[in-house]
């Protein structure tokens, strides 16, 4: 009897799973009809019946099951006091950073890495320079700093060319530090990730620098001292489970 019940429940599970997948596929098809240029990475049911999560890179929005109504904003579980949208976005940010790869970043490593922070930076930003002037303090706290370029003035500007030149230098870390002290790097050009990093920062909603992404995928806008940053990251480690995308490599 138990075997019969178990088999029935298993069959029901497969049926429900297939129905969910079919519904998500129908939503995706409806989206294509209404917004043919939209190319979602995934479409999944949201916690609200009849509303679906649509993920595109590091962006998340919600759509009705007929694909007609699109909603942008945060979904909050009032009972549990949890921002469900931000939790999803945090994982998406880490996935995007993971896809870019640490080899496309300028990395300052401590002797023993306890935490990882991604920092979108502008060579000419005052608070970005302040942060890097204290790099030894971050390293002393065991925080590995992974820099990505975000020249706020945009492509083909002085700050942009400085970022490219630093990337193309023989010793990127040394060139980066010199540029942060105000030295203008010798103009160089080569294959570089600056445009990709600028686009990623925009996708994350950057409107200033420095912008710090923690190893949990949360955004900390602006300069955060090393002692404060390590406290934030330790608290996050205690409060939250590891997101799907790995923060440390």
As a whole number of angstroms, the distance between CA 221 and CA 163 comes to 21
As a whole number of angstroms, the distance between CA 143 and CA 135 comes to 9
Q: How many Cα atoms are found within 13 Å in the side-chain-facing hemisphere of 88? A: 23
As a whole number of angstroms, the distance between CA 98 and CA 247 comes to 8
Residue tagged active-site, from 93, 122, 129, 218: 122
Pairing verdict, β 42-45 and 76-77: unpaired
152 is catalytic: yes
136 is catalytic: no
As a whole number of angstroms, the distance between CA 186 and CA 202 comes to 27
How is the beta sheet containing 70-71 ordered, strand by strand?
42-45, 51-56, 59-64, 70-71
Residue tagged active-site, from 93, 129, 146, 152: 152
As a whole number of angstroms, the distance between CA 158 and CA 147 comes to 19
146 is catalytic: no
Residue tagged active-site, from 125, 146, 168, 218: 125
128 is catalytic: yes
Residue tagged active-site, from 128, 129, 168, 218: 128
Report angle CA 238, 241, 242 to the nearest 5 degrees.
Answer: 110
Residues annotated catalytic, as ranges:
122, 125, 128, 152
């Amino acid at each position: 009897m138990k075997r019969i019940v178990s088999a029935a429940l298993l069959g029901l599970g497969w049926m429900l799973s297939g129905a969910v997948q079919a519904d998500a596929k129908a939503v995706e098809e409806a989206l294509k009809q209404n917004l043919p240029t939209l190319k979602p990475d995934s479409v999944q049911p949201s916690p609200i019946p009849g509303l679906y999560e649509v993920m595109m890179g590091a962006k998340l929005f919600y759509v009705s099951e007929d694909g007609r109504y699109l909603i942008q904003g945060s979904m909050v579980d009032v009972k549990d006091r949890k921002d469900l949208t931000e939790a999803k976005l945090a994982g998406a940010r880490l996935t995007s950073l993971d896809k870019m790869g640490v080899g496309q970043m300028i990395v300052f490593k401590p002797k023993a890495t306890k935490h990882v922070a991604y920092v979108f930076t502008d060579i000419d930003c005052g608070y970005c320079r302040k942060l890097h002037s204290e790099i030894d303090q971050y390293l002393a706290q065991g925080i590995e700093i992974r820099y990505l370029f975000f020249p706020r003035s945009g492509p083909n500007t002085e700050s942009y060319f400085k970022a490219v030149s630093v990337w193309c230098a023989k010793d990127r870390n040394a060139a980066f530090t010199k540029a942060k002290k105000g030295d203008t790097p010798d103009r160089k050009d080569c294959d570089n990730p600056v445009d990709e990093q600028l686009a990623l920062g925009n996708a994350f909603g950057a409107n200033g620098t420095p912008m710090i992404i923690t190893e949990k995928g949360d955004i900390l806008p602006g300069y955060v001292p090393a002692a404060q940053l390590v406290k934030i990251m330790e608290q996050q480690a205690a409060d939250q489970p590891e997101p799907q995308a790995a923060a440390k490599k």
